[in-house]
Amino acid sequence: MSANVYPVPGDIKKNALIDKAKYDAMYKQSVEDPEGFWGEHGKRIDWIKPYSTVKNVSYDAKDLYIKWYEDGTLNVAANCLDRHLEKRGDQTAIIFEGDDPNVSEHITYRDLYERTCRFANALKTMGVAKGDRVVIYLPMIPEAAVAMLACARIGA
């Protein structure tokens, strides 16, 4: 591995949401007090049913498990889309650059939300329901994100 460290360009550095000192402090807290750290960060997303337990772990070789926020319920699609509509609805959520340099698309949160809801309703019309498994076999195109978010929206 290279030992070279390259400085962050000034224009990027001044717009960053975190600096090295804050990163180091957050990392330290995550190692020294993981439940406190992840408990606070768990509050940054919207929960349908809030969690009361941050983590539940067993490192026993015969009963190994690591569970995070296990008694909470959330919806990934709601966290990725719905909660951003009021303030960021017209901002770009996805920038798609196709293989052809002439194919480019900026998709707003609102448009992505609408596409996702339409696809989720189409899936429900076809009988897809909460708990079902859905295979998504698509290239890296916007419709792949729409399909994934639609499945998450209905719990499939």
Given the structure tokens 């859905």, which residue do they identify?
134
| Phi, psi torsion values for 73, nearest 5 degrees | -130, 130
% of the chain at pLDDT higher than 90: 87
- In the chain, the domains with their CATH numbers are 10-68 (no CATH), 76-154 (3.40.50.980)
What is the reported pLDDT for 82? Answer: 97
pLDDT in tens, 83-101: 999 999 999 999 999 999 9
CA 15, 113, 46, 69: dihedral to nearest 10 degrees?
A: -100
Give 106's contacts (C-beta < 8 A, 6+ positions apart).
92, 94, 95, 96
What is the reported pLDDT for 8? Answer: 86
pTM above 0.75? yes
Could you tell me the two tokens for 111? Answer: 């448009």
pLDDT in tens, 15-42: 999 888 999 999 999 999 999 999 999 9
Q: Which of 97, 146, 98, 141 is nearest to 123 (CA)?
A: 146
